[in-house]
Amino acid sequence: MPSAFNFGISPFDCLTADERQRVREHLDIAYFREGDVVLEPGVAPTHLFVVIKGFVRQLDGEELAATFGPEDVFDGRSLVAGKVSSRFVAAEEVLAYQLAREAVNDLISSNATFGALLFADLSNKLSALSQRGSHHEMQSLTMARVGEAAVRPVREVDAATDIVSVVRIFTAQRTDNVLVRDPHSQPPRLGIFTTTGLQKAILHGTPLERLAVGELATFNLVTVTPQAYLFDALAVMIRHKVRRVVVEDEGRILGTLDQLDLLSFLSNHSYLITRQILEATDLAGVKAAAAQINGLIALLHRGGTPVKMVARLVQELNAQCFERAWQLIAPPDLVAHSCLFVMGSEGRGEQLLKTDQDNGLIWRDGYTPPADLDQICQRFSDALAEFGYPECPGGIMVRNPEWRRPAAEFAQTVRSWLILPSPESLMALAIFIDAHAVCGDASLLEEVRAEVFKLVNDNDALMARFAAAINAFDGGSGWWNRILSLGEDKDLLDLKKAGTFPLVHGVRSLALAHRIAATSTVARIEALAADQRLPADLAAALVDSLHFFMGLKLKVGLEALQTGRPGAGIALDKLSSLDRDLLKDALGVVKRFKTVLFQRFRLDML
Q: What residue spans of 163-282 are helical by DSSP H?
A: 163-173, 197-204, 230-240, 259-263, 270-278
How far from 110 is each of 48, 114, 115, CA to CA, in Å?
A: 17, 9, 9
Q: Is-above-0.75 flag for pTM?
A: no
CA angle 435, 438, 441 (to 5 degrees): 95
- Asked whether the predicted pLDDT for residue 548 surpasses 50, the reply is yes
Cα radius of gyration rounded to whole Å, the chain: 28
Q: Is pLDDT larger for residue 127 or for residue 62?
A: 62
- Asked whether the predicted pLDDT for residue 484 surpasses 80, the reply is no
pLDDT digits (tens, 9 = 90+) for 60-77: 888 787 788 888 889 888
- Stated length of the chain: 606
- Asked whether the predicted pLDDT for residue 459 surpasses 80, the reply is no
How far from 74 is each of 68, 206, 286, 299, CA to CA, in Å?
A: 8, 80, 51, 35
What is the identity of the amino acid at 178? V
When mean pLDDT is compared across 84-88, 238-242, 244-248, 405-409, the lowest value belongs to 238-242
- Asked whether the predicted pLDDT for residue 141 surpasses 70, the reply is no
How confident is residue 133, by pLDDT bands cut at 50, 70 and 90?
very low
499: Cα within 13 Å, side-chain hemisphere: 28
When mean pLDDT is compared across 54-63, 421-430, 570-579, the lowest value belongs to 570-579
The answer to whether the CB of 551 falls within 8 A of the CB of 468 is no
How far from 193 is each of 151, 240, 347, 419, CA to CA, in Å?
A: 17, 16, 34, 52
- Spatial distance between the Cα atoms of 322 and 437, rounded to a whole number of angstroms: 10
User: Where does residue 592 fall: left (phi above 0), alpha (psi -120 to 50 degrees), or beta otherwise?
Assistant: alpha
Q: What residue spans of 180-306 are helical by DSSP H?
A: 197-204, 230-240, 259-263, 270-278, 283-290, 293-302
Q: State mean pLDDT over 325-331.
A: 97
pLDDT digits (tens, 9 = 90+) for 434-446: 999 999 999 999 9
* pLDDT for position 571: 79
